[in-house]
């Protein structure tokens, strides 16, 4: 076991990458895996450990409790920087506590906004039991998934407007439960100016819904027009060349990667 209950509905977790997190004991998405193994999304964790270097700039879109934010902060060091975006205000407080607990407050900025195609106000559906399922989209019905959602209005921004003054983003990670298409639309300026080197993203057809085909067309455009190279991250954290057809043949793959 890598976690222990510390009161106030909180679990304290010792992470396998030599860090600590607190997470809600009521969360049924990340919490069980973290408590049992000290890790979450092992392939992407291994990819971070292998590819993020001191001095780099990393953007974490959908920080949740800060698992990858803390890891990135440790890896980029004092000369690097990490920028995290999280739409859920309660999780933002949790992320900041976790950064402070790991003595990682100097090189990280956490922004309590949703990432979208433009600057506006949108509805954000916050899950009661599975915090990792919160999204700008409503989750498809599943009779075996007993949960409830609260729809809150949140501030949404495009990365083009929020990060316009950054010279280079070495790695941008997106995991926002079907909001990926809107997020990509809002950072096309950064991509076209070659400011973003690598993007890891989740392919989630059920949550993308009627934006699925539009997202496929966008990725295809990035490949054809801007030379984007598409990969799957395997279980050891290694990028394996793939095709859009291969990715789109499955409903869900959490570790896709595009490089420019």
Query: Per-residue pLDDT tens for 110-137?
Result: 999 999 999 999 999 988 888 888 888 8
Mean pLDDT of the chain: 95
Query: Residue 146 above 80 pLDDT?
Result: no
Distance between CA 198 and CA 172 in Å, rounded? 6
Domains and CATH numbers, the chain: 41-259 (3.40.50.150)
Does the structure show a pLDDT above 80 at 89?
yes
What pLDDT digit, counting tens, does each position of 226-235 carry?
A: 999 999 999 9
- The torsion of the CA quartet 181, 172, 149, 1, rounded to 10 degrees, works out to 140
pTM over 0.85: yes
Lowest-pLDDT range, 121-130, 155-164, 216-225?
121-130
Whether 5 shows a pLDDT value over 90: the answer reads: yes
Q: State mean pLDDT over 91-114.
A: 97
Nearest CA among 103, 65, 71, 107 for reference residue 237: 71
């Amino acid at each position: 076991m890598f976690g222990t209950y510390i009161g106030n509905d909180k679990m304290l977790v010792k992470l396998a990458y030599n860090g600590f997190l607190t997470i809600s004991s009521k969360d049924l998405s990340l919490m069980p895996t973290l408590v049992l193994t000290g890790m979450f999304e092992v392939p992407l964790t291994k990819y971070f450990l292998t590819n993020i270097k001191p001095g780099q700039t990393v953007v974490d879109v959908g920080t949740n409790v800060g698992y990858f934010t803390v890891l990135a902060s440790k890896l980029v060091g004092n000369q690097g920087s990490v920028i995290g975006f999280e739409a859920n205000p309660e999780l933002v407080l949790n992320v900041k506590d976790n950064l402070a607990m790991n003595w990682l407050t100097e090189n990280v900025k956490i922004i309590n906004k949703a990432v979208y195609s433009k600057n506006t106000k949108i509805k954000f559906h916050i899950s009661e039991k599975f915090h990792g399922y919160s999204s700008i989209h409503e989750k498809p019905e599943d009779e075996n998934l007993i949960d409830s959602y609260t729809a809150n209005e949140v501030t949404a921004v495009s990365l083009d407007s929020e990060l316009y003054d950054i010279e280079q983003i070495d790695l941008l990670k997106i995991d926002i439960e079907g909001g990926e298409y809107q997020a990509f639309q809002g950072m096309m300026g950064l991509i076209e100016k070659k400011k973003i080197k690598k993007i890891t993203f989740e392919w989630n057809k059920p949550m993308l819904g009627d934006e699925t085909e539009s997202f496929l067309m966008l990725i295809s455009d990035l490949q054809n027009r801007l030379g984007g190279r598409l990969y799957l991250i395997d279980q050891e954290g290694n990028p394996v060349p793939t095709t859009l057809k291969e990715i789109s043949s499955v409903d869900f793959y959490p570790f896709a990667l595009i490089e420019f």
